[in-house]
């Protein structure tokens, strides 16, 4: 079990367990901060002390190999597993390079040192400042609370009201700060994965460029790097979606905190001040205890906990209640008091004090007191539904008509299902379809309804169903299968669970998955891959019954389930499985992780990896969102590496063909709608020279990049290493070949030129400009 999620509702209870969770998160961030500091120091050694490079590199590799990311929740996605294991992979690469002493640390400051230090200062430093504010507000609030509770009830009413108002203000400040601090802690815990690993990815690719004998490792790393970049961007996209959901939950709790107080029919909990009587002349004292009352057994468990004493948890005391009576101020000069008759101590009366009038009523009702009920005891929150969506014939007809119109008119539209329609038009379309109980709304011509209005209406309809399409009952089963097992076992488990859905639900789901598979088949035009569709439809088709941070952390697993349904819809919806070995309670095997493939060494250089030149952008629109945009939006350049589908990345890894110059990372060109480089993806050059050929100098590409730009209309270049083309768009050549009309290609690390009347791509680090 990793770090526990910090529920916003716990900010109002402020229990000892909640404080322990906060301390665990703080300790993990402190550990991360120390790790980054150490990594930064080691990186400086690599730059400033090349004579001690071997020693610094060993330390650097050791530091990476020993660190492991903690995670929130009870399971990780495959992307997160690859990210977690990435530091160990990096360490392994460094150890293999130990014998190579000559290394040019070009770009290390920009690609590694500055991003890590910026993350440490801008994010981890901010958390430290938030911690101090949180601790300060804690001290202020509980000090003022004790002062208020010790105030005589015989004081004038204006004085009491003024004191109550001051404590209430401090309480609000404390709870606001607690909410912000908890949100910040969890945000940094999730953010650090890609913020720490991505600079490391850039650094490692730079290191390999300058090694004379490093191409074997560089080629091996290239496959891993491409897959890891996709893992990082997928994790980033899921992080953005989860963060938006967390903010929405925090907003709802902030608006109505009383509805989210963690109570249940079985027990209730909170702080009580307990009067402890002492022998004369010492009188009595009041001790703050976190109390849990089990209603059925009438047992009150009390544990001593003081926020100002370092958060130490004292001994637990349990008593059985016989009755509960309100203690009036005539009998005791303190407000909000209760008198508890204890059955296991005959003749013993326990006096406790609640924190406020509402809290007093809450405990009175929970313990069976005679005070009138005035406290909210159960959660009744439910999302308002402006649309009466049902899986009836009208709804099925609407879904079919919507899919037909989308496939007929907009299957190639960029950002299909991600670009949202105007809210008023979407509502109007749904009302026409549902309120009139009519199938006569024409959506196929486009005269009244544009494609983004139809897609938004379809998503809103599915989200407005009384129960999600994949049902509450099977939600945990679907999430459980996505958290473990091999890809084959996941497909089999999804197949079984789908056929446990109600007939109409399965019918609609099958119809929708067939349509989404068709959308993904046109991803080169619409940019909506299986992974992107999973992000959009995960929260639409699946959702938990309760809104908690823990449930939000499972959003990434919803996406995985939807991806499986899209990619294997023909098998899953064809026939019911003969047998279902899948059981949610049974342990699942860990999914196999990608291992780097050790291949024979090929002596040639690798292009410099520069992530800034790639201009990779994270996906800005994630998930569905709880509301539709009021203005029309465009797709823009919001695609990223996550637009590579899971199957595409798997096939790239399985290939033995080495790809050069990070061409797999050119998915940012898709975001502008250009497919000019699509037919070149996967091409590479292999050595054509004999084994005795002289080795390429690692500084060739670097020295060329340092030259100022010149006119490219008549540039010539000379081949310094042989190359054999592995794609029609590339040129084959031997050492000494002269290229004419050499220009810079749109693809990083490649040139375009002419050789013997044929035009094609040339690896930039295989030639020198004449």
Q: What is the pLDDT of residues 231-247, one digit of tens each?
A: 888 888 878 878 888 88
219's tokens? 């080629």
Higher pLDDT, 282 or 751: 751
pLDDT in tens, 116-174: 888 888 888 888 888 898 999 899 989 998 888 888 888 888 988 999 899 999 989 98
Mean of pLDDT values over 725-731: 78
Pick the closest to residue 624 from 463, 504, 402 (CA basis): 463
Report the pLDDT value the prediction gives residue 588, as an integer from 0 to 100.
Answer: 41
Distance in angstroms between the alpha carbons of the first and the last residue of the chain = 61
Asked whether the beta carbons of 451 and 443 are under 8 A apart, the reply is no
Please determine, for residue 201, whether its predicted confidence score (pLDDT) is greater than 90. no
Whose CA is closest to 555, among 197, 72, 227? 72
The pLDDT score that the predictor gives to residue 705 is 39
Residue 260: Cβ-neighbour burial (10 angstroms; 0-12, 13-18, 19+): buried
Q: Is residue 78 within 8 Å of residue 485, measured between CB atoms?
A: no
729 or 386: whose pLDDT is higher?
Answer: 729
Give me the mean pLDDT over the 653-672 stretch: 34
Q: In the prediction, which pLDDT does 533 show?
A: 92
Q: Radius of gyration (Cα) for the chain, nearest Å?
A: 32
What is the C-alpha separation between 253 and 187, in angstroms, rounded? Answer: 18
Q: What is the pLDDT of residue 109?
A: 81
Return the structure tokens found at 572.
């899953």
Query: Which range has the worst mean pLDDT, 87-96, 453-462, 661-670, 711-720?
Result: 661-670
The pLDDT assigned to 511 comes to: 94
| Partners of residue 755 on adjacent β-strands | 758
* Per-residue b or e along 717-745, where b marks 16 or more CB atoms closer than 10 Å to that residue's CB: bebbbbbebbeebbbbbeeebbbeebeeb
Residue 667 has pLDDT above 50, yes or no: no
Token pair listed for 459: 């998503």
Angle at 651 between CA 648 and CA 657, to 5 degrees: 120
Torsions phi, psi for 565 (to 5 deg): -60, -40
How far apart are alpha carbons 355 and 349 in whole angstroms?
20
pLDDT above 50 (res 225)? yes
Q: Say whether pLDDT at 371 is over 70.
A: no
Query: pTM value?
Result: 0.49
Spatial contact of 702 and 732, defined as CB atoms under 8 Å apart: no
What pLDDT, on the 0 to 100 scale, is given for residue 703?
41
* Cβ neighbourhood burial of 500 (10 Å; 0-12, 13-18, 19+): middle
Cα separation, 367 vs 298, in Å, equals 8
Neighbours of 317 (CB within 10 A): 14
Average pLDDT over residues 319-346: 81
pLDDT at res. 541: 92
Q: Is pLDDT above 80 for 283?
A: no
Tell me the pLDDT of the chain averaged across its residues.
Answer: 74
Peptide bond into 500 cis (omega under 30): no
Can you read off the two tokens belonging to residue 535? 């992000």
Residues 284-291, mean pLDDT to the nearest whole number: 85
What's the whole-number mean pLDDT along residues 319-340? Answer: 82
> In this model, does residue 562 exceed pLDDT 90?
yes
CB 217 within 8 A of CB 94: no
Q: Residue 517 pLDDT more than 90?
A: yes
pLDDT tens column, 741-753: 999 887 767 888 9
Greater pLDDT, 720 or 607? 720
Average pLDDT of the segment spanning 321-335: 79
Task: Render pLDDT for 54-70 as a digit per residue (tens, 0 to 9).
Answer: 777 888 888 888 888 88
Q: pLDDT band at residue 696, thresholds of 50, 70 and 90? A: very low
Q: What is the CB neighbour count within 10 angstroms for residue 459?
A: 23
Q: Please, are residues 506 and 622 in contact by the beta-carbon 8 Å criterion?
A: no
Nearest to 421 by CA among 275, 586, 254, 628: 628
């Amino acid at each position: 079990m990793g770090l526990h999620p910090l529920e916003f509702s716990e900010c109002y209870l402020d229990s000892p367990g909640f404080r322990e969770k906060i301390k665990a998160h703080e300790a993990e961030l402190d550990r991360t901060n120390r790790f980054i500091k150490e990594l930064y120091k080691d990186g400086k050694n690599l730059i400033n002390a090349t004579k001690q490079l071997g020693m610094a590199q060993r330390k650097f590799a050791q530091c990476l190999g020993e660190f492991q990311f903690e995670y929130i929740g009870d399971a990780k996605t495959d992307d997160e597993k690859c990210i977690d294991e990435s530091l160990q992979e990096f360490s392994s690469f460094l150890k293999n390079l130990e014998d190579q002493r000559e290394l040019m640390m070009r770009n290390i400051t920009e690609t590694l040192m500055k991003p890590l230090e910026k993350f440490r200062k801008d994010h981890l430093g901010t958390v430290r400042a938030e911690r101090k504010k949180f601790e300060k507000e804690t001290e202020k609030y509980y000090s003022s609370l004790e002062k208020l509770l010790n105030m005589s009830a015989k004081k004038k009413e204006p004085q009491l009201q003024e004191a109550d108002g001051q404590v209430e203000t401090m309480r609000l400040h404390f709870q606001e700060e607690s909410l912000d601090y908890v949100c910040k802690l969890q945000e940094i815990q999730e953010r650090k994965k890609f913020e720490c690993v991505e600079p490391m990815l850039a650094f490692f690719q730079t290191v390999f460029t300058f090694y004379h004998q490093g191409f074997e490792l560089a080629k091996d790393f290239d496959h891993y790097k491409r897959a890891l970049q996709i893992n990082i961007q997928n994790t980033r996209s899921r992080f953005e979606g989860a963060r938006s959901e967390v903010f929405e939950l925090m907003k709802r709790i902030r608006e109505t905190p009383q509805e989210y107080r963690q109570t249940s029919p079985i027990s209730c909990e909170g702080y009580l001040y307990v009067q402890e009587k002492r022998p004369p002349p010492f009188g009595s004292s009041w001790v703050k205890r976190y109390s849990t009352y089990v209603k059925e057994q009438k047992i009150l468990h009390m544990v001593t906990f003081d926020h100002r004493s370092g958060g130490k948890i004292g001994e637990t005391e349990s008593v059985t209640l016989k009755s509960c009576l309100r203690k009036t101020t005539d009998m005791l000069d303190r407000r909000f008091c209760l008198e508890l008759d204890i059955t296991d101590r005959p003749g013993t009366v326990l006096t406790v004090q609640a924190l406020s009038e509402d809290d007093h009523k809450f405990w009175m009702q929970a313990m069976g007191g005679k005070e009138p009920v005035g406290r909210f005891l159960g959660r009744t929150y439910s999302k308002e539904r402006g649309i009466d969506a049902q899986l009836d014939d009208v709804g099925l007809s609407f879904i079919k008509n919507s899919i037909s119109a989308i496939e007929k008119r907009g299957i190639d539209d960029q950002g299909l299902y991600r670009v949202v329609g105007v809210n008023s038009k979407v509502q109007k379309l749904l009302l026409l379809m549902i309120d009139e109980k009519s199938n006569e709304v024409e959506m196929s011509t486009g005269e009244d309804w544009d494609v983004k209005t139809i897609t938004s209406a379809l998503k809103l309809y599915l989200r407005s169903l009384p129960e999600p399409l994949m049902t509450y009952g099977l939600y945990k089963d679907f999430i459980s299968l996505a958290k473990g097992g091999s890809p084959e076992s996941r497909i089999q488990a999804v197949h079984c669970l789908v056929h446990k859905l109600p007939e109409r639900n399965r019918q609609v789901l099958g119809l929708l998955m067939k349509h989404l598979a068709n959308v993904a088949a046109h991803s080169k035009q619409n940019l909506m891959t299986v992974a992107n569709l999973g992000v959009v439809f995960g929260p639409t088709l699946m959702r938990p019954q309760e809104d908690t941070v823990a449930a939000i952390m499972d959003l990434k697993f919803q996406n995985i389930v939807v991806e499986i349904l899209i990619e294997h819809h023909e098998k899953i919806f064809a026939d019911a499985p003969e047998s279902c070995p899948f059981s949610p309670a049974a342990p699942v095997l860990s999914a196999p992780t990608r291992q780097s493939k050790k291949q024979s060494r090929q002596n040639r250089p690798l292009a410099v990896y520069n992530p800034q030149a790639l201009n990779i952008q994270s996906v800005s629109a994630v998930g569905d969102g709880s509301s539709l945009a009021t203005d029309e939006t465009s797709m823009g350049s919001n695609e990223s590496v996550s637009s590579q589908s899971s199957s595409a990345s798997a096939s790239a890894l399985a290939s033995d063909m080495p790809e050069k110059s990070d061409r797999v990372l050119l998915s940012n060109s898709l975001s502008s709608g250009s497919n000019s480089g699509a037919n070149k993806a996967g091409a590479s050059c292999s050595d054509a020279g004999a084994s005795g050929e002289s080795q390429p100098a690692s500084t060739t590409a670097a020295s060329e990049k340092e030259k100022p730009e010149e006119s490219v209309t008549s540039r010539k270049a000379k081949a310094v290493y042989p190359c054999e083309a592995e794609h029609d768009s590339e040129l084959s050549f031997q050492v000494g070949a002269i290229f004419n009309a050499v220009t810079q290609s749109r693809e990083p690390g490649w040139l375009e030129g002419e050789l013997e009347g044929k035009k094609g791509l040339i690896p930039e680090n295989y030639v020198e400009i004449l």
